[in-house]
Amino acid sequence: MIEVKDLVKRYSKNTAVDHLNFHVQKGQIYGFLGPNGAGKSTTMNMMTGYLAPTEGQILINGHDVAEEPMEARKCIGYLPEIPPLYPDMTVLEYLRFAAELKQVPKNDRSSEVERVMGETRIKDMEHRLIRHLSKGYKQRVGLAQALLGDPEVLILDEPMVGLDPKQIIEIRELIRGLGQKHTVILSSHILSEITSVCDHVLIISHGKLVASDTPENLGSYMKHSDAMELQVRGSKGACEQAMELLKQVEGLEVRTTPAALEDVFLELTDEENNGNSDTAARQEKSESFSLGKKKQKTEDTEEKAVSVEEQKSDEKEEQ
């Protein structure tokens, strides 16, 4: 369906897309995942013919985007990161205008506009000015525009950005539905957005493709790297409280709680051993400890912990 071959885009000395190669199969939802500045929008703009590549080739249904731009573009509906809307038009006026620009035959325009409004569920907003719509509805109008002419491929650049959680769920459902009739490529810098709707994930970083697989397969690679070592800064009480809260997170195992607490005591008692009884210095020292740190002297630690507690109670009694 889509072939991207050795695609390069340079902006002066900055290489935004660096020898990118991938294939897109018909009838699937592809997620283009990467951090800000990875090159997602640049790649999508080249796929839709908005930008010319520095090197490489893009084929859409066998049509070279550079050599047969009109043929290639007919196969594509595009929703750019900022939807190209006219805020002073009503939804209906705008879609009729967009249908004309897309050269939908005059006799089919009304039915086509009705069809896309139905698919994106915006019919009840048809007489509203676009400037008065919520961000979610504006995004749907942008999607409706992309659907005009019933293109085989939909390219959606960050379609969920700036939406509230309810709107994200609605757009996600909409995209899932569209994926049954169209090949969809959508970009995002948020993993969960991609894995929740896509059949296949393409991960891009610094303009290069670094992974291409199903969300399930990518997930199983990640399983081997799900351990994390944290450094926590805060008072002892606050750290203990935070760790108690962490334990409530479903599926999260905090393995080193005893060792970590012992480390705090170890830090405190080391200060005692060094003859540094300055409370502020001890406090400062106790504020940073590592969750994953291995304890070295368990017995010593317990003894020292006890001695610290004893000393504290002695101090209280003196007061």
The site for ligand ATP (CB under 6 A) is made up of 11, 14, 16, 34, 36-42, 189
Considering the complex, state which of residue 40 and residue 282 has its C-beta at the smaller distance from ligand ATP: 40
Contact 20, 7 (CB under 8 A): yes
Query: Minimum distance between the CB of residue 84 and ligand ATP, rounded to whole angstroms?
Result: 16
Query: Minimum distance between the CB of residue 164 and ligand ATP, rounded to whole angstroms?
Result: 19
Considering the complex, state which of residue 109 and residue 208 has its C-beta at the smaller distance from ligand ATP: 208
Considering the complex, state which of residue 92 and residue 163 has its C-beta at the smaller distance from ligand ATP: 163
Query: Minimum distance between the CB of residue 155 and ligand ATP, rounded to whole angstroms?
Result: 12
Say which residue the tokens 């003196």 belong to: 318
Considering the complex, state which of residue 14 and residue 273 has its C-beta at the smaller distance from ligand ATP: 14
Considering the complex, state which of residue 46 and residue 116 has its C-beta at the smaller distance from ligand ATP: 46
Virtual CA dihedral for 96, 62, 184, 137, nearest 10 degrees? Answer: -20
Query: Minimum distance between the CB of residue 140 and ligand ATP, rounded to whole angstroms?
Result: 21
Considering the complex, state which of residue 12 and residue 248 has its C-beta at the smaller distance from ligand ATP: 12
Query: Minimum distance between the CB of residue 139 and ligand ATP, rounded to whole angstroms?
Result: 16
Considering the complex, state which of residue 33 and residue 147 has its C-beta at the smaller distance from ligand ATP: 33
- Which pair of tokens denotes residue 32? 């283009």
Q: How far is CA 61 from CA 117, 137, 192, in A?
A: 27, 31, 30
* Residues 6 or more apart whose Cβ sits within 8 Å of residue 154: 76, 77, 78, 79, 146, 147, 178, 182, 183, 184, 185
Q: How far is CA 229 from CA 60, 136, 292, in A?
A: 46, 38, 5
Query: Minimum distance between the CB of residue 188 and ligand ATP, rounded to whole angstroms?
Result: 8
Query: Minimum distance between the CB of residue 120 and ligand ATP, rounded to whole angstroms?
Result: 23
Backbone φ and ψ of 148, nearest 5°: -60, 135
Considering the complex, state which of residue 38 and residue 154 has its C-beta at the smaller distance from ligand ATP: 38
Query: Minimum distance between the CB of residue 144 and ligand ATP, rounded to whole angstroms?
Result: 23
- Which pair of tokens denotes residue 304? 């020292």
